[in-house]
Structure 1
Amino acid sequence: MKIAVFCGSSSGENPAFVEATRALGHYLAGQGVDLVYGGGNVGLMGVIADSFLEKGAKVYGVIPEYLKERELAHQGLTELSIVADMHERKASMANMADAFVALPGGAGTLEEIFEAWTWAQLGHHAKPCAFYNINGFYNLLMEMVLNMVHSGFLKPHHAEMLIHTDNAETLLSSIRSYQAPRQKWT
């Protein structure tokens, strides 16, 4: 199984983000999971890649040419693909991955996981989307998702398709047992 992880190119202010990211990577790699991620060697991106590599897992990076230098492309990966732009990066990662997980990050992290989730709602794929909620990072976002449901902009079963947990074992078991809901327009 290959899991795509979206996360920050910085480490954040709280050391818990780095510690939990490293622990998650070690756990998933120990369970036979390989990593697909943005290809960077900085921030949580570098931490997640290194944690998988430390446990002997395969790590596949995908980075746009123009970010290769800015995000300091990781040179120790199983495979590093250089692509033209962010659209190609996301499409390549989506094709390679069996599931998508967002760790703490900024606007780019949210954009990537929301696009994967939207594709799932539309039936473009039937892969699980998850938020790994380190230190309650995504609590307010999950409240916003519920607000979308209560306001009539999101079907409850599309909100329920999101996995959100701060426990590595629960994350992986939820990914493995995931059943996609019916498509948005059916």
Structure 2
Amino acid sequence: MTTTKPLAVCVFCSSSGTIDRLYVDLAAQAGAELARRGHSLVSGGAQVSCMGAVARAARAGGARTVGVIPEGLVSVEISDEDNDELVVTPDMRARKGEMDRRSDAFLILPGGIGTLEELLEVWTARTLAMHEKPIVILDPTGVYEPLRELMVGLTEQGFTRAKIWDAVGWATSVPEAFDLLERAQPRIESSPDDYAEAEL
């Protein structure tokens, strides 16, 4: 059990039913480790795929779970009524805002365009010093390697600044991911130029 302050960890992950089982198992491992370390979970509020797996494993380990789901997806994604708290929002933007507000840290698992959108939003905000919450990408199979290569290229071409790398951690195992989340990451200082840029 960790001696660090308990965190409300927001896990961004897939709700797709067509992915390889290993990613669902990875989500379950993340939920179990979260509970073992005494943290609580904030997730997308669905009981399917990785979203359901992380929440079920967290609850099985004794962790408090909060699900946040937009009204339009309650029936589509099948909302997880077993959450300690299920928050239904009017739309996706409100969902992300509520998840952000309730969280102390962000863990990103392999996922699709929704997960990418969530990652890029919190990554951008941390780069601009709009929050100081740690962000860790858990990628044991290299799903996000093309994204990393893209970001390296954007940095080399001047579209974004090198300090974006200070805003996010990368991990290949569940324990490593939580070690990074629990470690205080360096404060990222912003400048007026950051806000003047159309892109990071």
TM-score w.r.t. the length of structure 1 is 0.94
**Is 2:13–2:51's contact at 8 Å kept on the other side of the alignment?**
yes
Which residue number in structure 2 is paired with residue 13 of structure 1?
19
Are 2:109 and 1:103 equivalent residues in the alignment?
yes
Q: What is the one-letter code of the residue matched to 2:152? A: L
1:47 and 1:185 mapped to 2: Cα distance? 42
Judge which range, 95-104 or 169-178, deviates more. Answer: 169-178
Q: Structure 1 residues 168, 108: CA separation in 2 closer, same or farther (over 3 Å shift)?
A: same
Which residue number in structure 2 is paired with residue 170 of structure 1?
176
Which residue number in structure 1 is paired with residue 55 of structure 2?
49
Task: Report 1:97-136 matches (<5 A).
Answer: 97-136=103-142
Structure 2 regions of 5+ residues with no counterpart? 1-6, 194-200
Aligned counterpart in structure 2 of residue 182 of structure 1, from 184, 189, 196: 189
SS in 2 for 1:113: helix
SS in 2 for 1:157: helix
Q: Percent identity?
A: 32
**Is 1:133–1:165's contact at 8 Å kept on the other side of the alignment?**
yes
2:60 and 2:142 mapped to 1: Cα distance? 27
Deviation, structure 1 residue 20: 1.6
SS in 2 for 1:49: helix
Deviation, structure 1 residue 131: 1.0
Aligned counterpart in structure 2 of residue 22 of structure 1, from 24, 28, 45: 28
Task: Report 1:122-161 matches (<5 A).
Answer: 122-161=128-167
SS in 2 for 1:39: coil
Larger Rg: 2
Are 2:91 and 1:85 equivalent residues in the alignment?
yes
Q: What is the one-letter code of the residue matched to 1:153? A: F
The C-alpha deviation readout for 1:40-72, integer Å capped at 9, x for no partner, is: 011111111111011110000111111111110
Deviation, structure 1 residue 135: 1.5
- Which 4+ residue blocks in structure 1 deviate beyond 3 angstroms? none
Deviation, structure 1 residue 134: 3.1
Deviation, structure 1 residue 111: 0.3
SS in 2 for 1:69: helix
Which residue number in structure 2 is paired with residue 39 of structure 1?
45
SS in 2 for 1:80: strand
TM-score w.r.t. the length of structure 2 is 0.88
Deviation, structure 1 residue 9: 0.7
**Is 1:121–1:184's contact at 8 Å kept on the other side of the alignment?**
no
Structure 1 regions of 5+ residues with no counterpart? none
Deviation, structure 1 residue 149: 1.1
**Is 2:27–2:51's contact at 8 Å kept on the other side of the alignment?**
no
Q: CA RMSD in A?
A: 1.4
